[in-house]
Amino acid sequence: MEQDKRETFGEGYFEKGLMRTDKEAYRGYTWGQTSPYFGIMARTLRSVFHPHKVLDIGCAKGYLVFLLQGLGIDAYGVDVSEYALSCAPPLIKEKLQLLDIEQEAFPFSPAQFEVATILEIVEHLNTFDHLLEELRRVVRQGGYVLVTSPVPQSKAARGDRTHINVHPQAFWSTLFKRHGFSCVQDTLWKNFKRQFLCEFAKVADYPPATKAGEILLRSGPLGRMLRNHLFPYVSYFSLWRETQIMLFCNNAQYK
């Protein structure tokens, strides 16, 4: 594992925003700041996919793994950051592994997972082929990979100097297709979007990531309604989205 990766994604990255272009506004990678979003994602995954086993790639402090475990899902995580893993909740530390996903073999059996998540990770990577081959191996045929990544030229894309590979959805779809995955756009994808937005609307105290979100939350019932219903749709699924959410199906049987 490369030493510079451990140093880059160490305490300074997670707690002080050292690689952020908006470092002054950075609020830290804390449970309070991130758990509402991970809770939304965990409940959406349970409702849409009903998985028994989930792998979170780039799990950082393991918050999504912790929340999935709380929902009765056997969840695991891998990350390159020794610091982040050391901060994980004690109850799930044994479920997490230190791993460089660009070059090390995943410590899991073939076809072990129904779902894998890669949330805000691919834009940090130099290479993708090893990761996708390992995904094809450990995600069962007919299983799913959920990916989130900043939209090119968005504020989210420009906000972190470790975002070295920011691409539009067409790029990711072509890349995943080359490794035996197809982009899901059918009823299942519609169900995912509907459930994600529904879960988002339930979390009234989700910490806003933008000034606009803060203003809406302070603007009474109408502002809160707009923020909890319209804002997530605009942020994730509209033409003006900051973050793209993509769902891929593993069509290839590993041999």
Q: Give the pLDDT of residue 235.
A: 87
Positive or negative torsion for Cα 14, 18, 22, 23:
positive
User: For 18-26, what is the mean pLDDT?
Assistant: 72
Above pLDDT 70, what percent of the chain? 86
pLDDT in tens, 122-176: 999 999 999 999 999 999 999 999 999 999 999 889 989 999 999 999 999 999 9
User: For 3-24, what is the mean pLDDT?
Assistant: 82
Q: Give the pLDDT of residue 171.
A: 97
Structure tokens of 107? Answer: 């410590």
- Residue 33 counted as domain residue: yes
Q: What is the DSSP letter of 111?
A: T
Residue 159 β-bridge partners: none
For 117, other C-beta atoms within 10 Å of its C-beta total 26
- Whole-number Å distance between alpha carbons of 139 and 39: 22
Structure tokens of 71? Answer: 């929902």
User: For 119-123, what is the mean pLDDT?
Assistant: 97
- Residue 239 counted as domain residue: yes
Residue 160 β-bridge partners: 20
Q: What is the DSSP letter of 242?
A: S
pLDDT in tens, 58-82: 999 999 999 999 999 999 999 999 9
Contact 143, 250 (CB under 8 A): yes
| Domain CATH code at residue 136 | 3.40.50.150
Query: Directed axis angle between helix 31-49 and helix 63-70, to 10°?
Result: 50
* Structural domain of 244: 3-207+233-250
Contact 139, 235 (CB under 8 A): no
- Residue 223 counted as domain residue: no
- Residue 228 counted as domain residue: no
- Residue 78 counted as domain residue: yes
- Residue 105 counted as domain residue: yes
Position with higher pLDDT, 53 vs 212 = 53
Count: domains in the chain: 1
- Residue 31 counted as domain residue: yes
Q: Give the pLDDT of residue 202.
A: 82
Tell whether the model's pLDDT for residue 210 goes beyond 90. Answer: no
Mean pLDDT estimate for the chain = 90
Q: Give the pLDDT of residue 96.
A: 98
- Residue 14 counted as domain residue: yes
What's the first-to-final CA gap in the chain, in angstroms?
A: 27
Q: Give the pLDDT of residue 227.
A: 66
Q: Give the pLDDT of residue 1.
A: 43
Contact 180, 250 (CB under 8 A): yes
Tell whether the model's pLDDT for residue 19 goes beyond 90. Answer: no
Structure tokens of 31? Answer: 């449970």
